Amino acid sequence: MQVSGLSKSFGGIHAVKDISFSVQQGEIVGLIGPNGAGKTTCFNLITGFYAPTAGTVHFDQQDVTGDKPYGMARRGIVRSFQKTNILKSLSVFENVLTGHYIEARQPVWKTFFPTAQVRRTEASVRDSAARIIHTIGLSRHMNTPASQLSCGELRLLEVALALAAKPRILMLDEPAAGLNSHEARLFGEVLRKLVGDLVESILIVEHNMGLIMSVSDRVVVMHFGEKLAEGTPAQVQKDLKVVEAYLGGSAKEKS
């Protein structure tokens, strides 16, 4: 995916200004910056929730700028759902099954008179859900109600729901919120396993610097809507502009 000159203004506020970066196949790219830097707006532009004021988004050599969220998801650009999408009374398996809605959509009459094709689809959806749950390491909780999961397990279930939509590029907005450093490390290990297996690449916005720096191949740093720096985790951590932006701002760093 290539983002070029992406900009978004709300009235007089330039939330995102002329941002360009790419996410290549096989990569995990971290998007960081102090509060209000424009990260979520950037996510909303890439996933079609906002139309950009200027700039383009290319995916698979196609200009997808301005596509609606559903169209982006069908192309394989999928963002994680918030935890409110988890149905607490349903099991892990049932939750992940519900996340397969795009693939499994069928006319209602077919539910009552299932054809061989519907039965095949159902079997493949169940296989896919089981594979996702296995890959994210929740197999032992397959039949556990979501209400009984720990915070770390819930965060993984949110990722599993996004995976059910068959992303090619998985976009995670603060997926490790509330995790302690041990849980965040395990979470990072799961993300690394996903790339090249269930997804082609990951773009992640996260305030947990320990997680971002350990999991990302490249990090893009935003500040006041603009790109401040880009490089490997080691490079951006040494960048004085980045250090200053964080120390001078209201960074909620929790490594």
Cβ proximity to ligand ATP: between 6 and 15 the closer is: 15
Contact between 33 and ligand ATP (CB under 6 A)?
A: yes
Contact between 136 and ligand ATP (CB under 6 A)?
A: no
Contact between 40 and ligand ATP (CB under 6 A)?
A: yes
Contact between 10 and ligand ATP (CB under 6 A)?
A: yes
Provide the b/e sequence for 2-35 (b: ≥16 CB within 10 Å).
Answer: ebbebbbeeeeebbbbebebebeeebbbbbbbbe
**From candidates 19, 23, 37, 171, binder to ligand ATP by CB under 6 A:** 37
Task: Tell the smallest beta-carbon distance from residue 77 to ligand ATP (Å).
Answer: 18
Token digits for 45?
């532009």
Q: How deeply is 57 buried, as exposed, middle or buried, from its count of CB atoms within 10 A (0-12, 13-18, 19+)? A: buried
Residues 6+ apart with CB under 8 A from 3: 19, 20, 21, 22, 42, 46, 55, 56, 57
Q: Which stretch binds ligand ATP (CB under 6 A): 38-46, 126-134, 149-157, 188-196?
A: 38-46
How many positions of this chain bind ligand ATP (CB under 6 A)? 11
Contact between 48 and ligand ATP (CB under 6 A)?
A: no
Task: Tell the smallest beta-carbon distance from residue 154 to ligand ATP (Å).
Answer: 20
**From candidates 24, 25, 26, 35, binder to ligand ATP by CB under 6 A:** 35
Q: Contact at 8 Å (CB) between 169 and 200?
A: yes
Q: Contact at 8 Å (CB) between 80 and 162?
A: yes
Q: Write out the residues near ligand ATP by the rule CB under 6 A.
A: 10, 13, 15, 33, 35-41
